[in-house]
Structure 1
Amino acid sequence: MADVNRGNRPLSPHLTIYRPQMTSMSSIMVRITGIATFGLAILAVWWLIAAATSESSFAVIDGLLRSFIGDLLMFGALWALYYHMLGRLRHVIWDFGYHLDVETSEKMGLGMFVGATVLAVITAIIL
């Protein structure tokens, strides 16, 4: 093994000194909302399978989805769906080479949070 002086190498930033940025946080949220959307798909398939099997199993999942907790769950899933959609749209814009500067990217990240919330509220009011 080579004789390497490990004491003089710079250290990578650690979470205690690293300041999260809007672009990194919004990118992480896109991944989280993608997983949440997958969970929503599993819930929808569960509802459909329960409807096809028996009245008692359908009553259980339908009762859950029609309760207050189900309403919160559906609103969260709706928000996640809109957020993920806006995140994908942001990446398409970046793929074309537009708005790659830091200031605009941070505004787009904030716009994703606000846009997903506004779209989810409007959809919840309409439905």
Structure 2
Amino acid sequence: MTEVELKSGRPASRPLSPHLQVWRPTLTMTMSIMHRVTGAALYFGALLLAWFLIAAASGPESFSYASAFANSFIGKLILFGFTWALYHHLLGGVRHLVWDMGYGLDHPQREWLAWATLIGGIALTLLTWICVALRA
């Protein structure tokens, strides 16, 4: 908190920057938060991928245990979430790249890019899993 002198001459204590109660949640704000969340989720997904690869290199017994986990309901749910996080984070990065080039910063384009990130991540995830299911 900082001390600010009011017109009345007495000091008032108030925050240095706006807090969450000042801002109305928007789609772009939500997508920015999700970009950070999916970035963190990708770290844990990378650990699972490393575990799977190490198990594959360690021998058939280790690989069968890792493979059984990956093929379980929980394993597939985690892999589905990892796939969505990967696509959502990728598209969020592309959205930020477009903004860094100076495009899409106005209100209608900004909202359109946020919707494209959301819908595109879901669509690419479903498309990937449909292709995997058809191949199996």
TM-score normalized with structure 2 length? 0.80
When residues 8 and 46 of structure 1 are mapped into structure 2, their CA distance, relative to the original with a 3 A threshold, is closer
Shift of the alpha carbon at 1:103?
2.3
Aligned to 2:98: 93
Point out where structure 2 has 5 or more consecutive residues left out of the alignment: 6-10
Q: Counterpart of 1:7 in 2: which secondary structure?
A: strand
Q: Matches of 2:72 and 2:37 in 1, distance apart?
A: 25
* Contact 2:4–2:13 under 8 Å retained in 1: no
Letter matched to residue 63 of structure 1: A
Identity score, percent: 44
Partner of 1:74: 79
Shift in alpha-carbon separation, 1:64–1:100, aligned structure 2, 3 A: same
Kindly indicate whether residue 121 of structure 2 is the aligned counterpart of residue 111 of structure 1.
no
Report the structure, 1 or 2, having the larger strand content. Answer: 2
What residue is the counterpart of 1:23 in the other structure? 28
Cα pair distance change 1:53/1:100, threshold 3 Å: same
- Across the aligned residues of Structure 1 and Structure 2, the Cα RMSD in angstroms comes to 2.2
The alpha-carbon distance between structure 1 residues 11 and 34, as it changes in their structure 2 partners (threshold 3 A), is: closer
- Output the CA distance in 2 between the equivalents of 1:55 and 1:12: 57
1:84 counterpart letter in structure 2: H
State how far apart, in whole Å, the 2-side matches of 1:42 and 1:19 are: 36
Q: 1: CA distance between counterparts of 2:98 and 2:37? A: 21
Question: C-alpha separation between the residues in 2 aligned to 1:117 and 1:41?
Answer: 20
Query: How many angstroms apart in 2 are the aligned matches of 1:55 and 1:114?
Result: 40
Deviations 1:52-88 (A, max 9, x none): 2244433332211111111111111111111111111
Q: How many residues align?
A: 125
Q: Which has the higher contact order (CA 8 A, sep 6+)?
A: 1
Deviation at 1:107, TM superposition (A): 1.8
Bigger CA radius of gyration: 2
For 2:54, give the aligned amino acid.
Answer: I
Please give the TM-score of this superposition, normalised by the length of structure 1. Answer: 0.85
Cα distance between partner residues in 2 of 1:123 and 1:17: 40
1:45 corresponds to which of 43, 50, 64 = 50
